[in-house]
Amino acid sequence: MKIIDFEDKAWFFLNESDHYYIDVNCNYSFLGFNMLIHLSASEVNDYHNHGRDFLNSLAKDIQQYALSRYKDRNVKGDIERMANEAIIGFLEDKKGQI
């Protein structure tokens, strides 16, 4: 799994083979959590057409509707583990560059 782009403290955009994912930092009341969403074909197309603007818009939508519209799209299992490992490695590399 590879990180393609990120917005500090907001989201990470990742890919594995031909699959794209966005890992979004969400909050509900006092509870903080992440949601890993597998992008649909139309969302990948929107990303290719609009880049970071689309990712920022999608992340805001996921933050707003995480527990309703996106709850069934939250990826778990091996893909989630691979995404978490990629993010941790990325953050450790970034920390070492400071």
Residue 35: phi and psi, rounded to 5, are -125, 130
| Segment 27-36, tens digit of pLDDT | 988 899 999 9
Positions of the chain with pLDDT lower than 50, given as ranges: none
Q: pLDDT at position 98, please?
A: 55
Query: Any idea which residue has 């509707």 for tokens?
Result: 65
Q: pLDDT at position 62, please?
A: 98
Q: pLDDT at position 29, please?
A: 85
| Segment 80-96, tens digit of pLDDT | 999 999 999 999 987 76
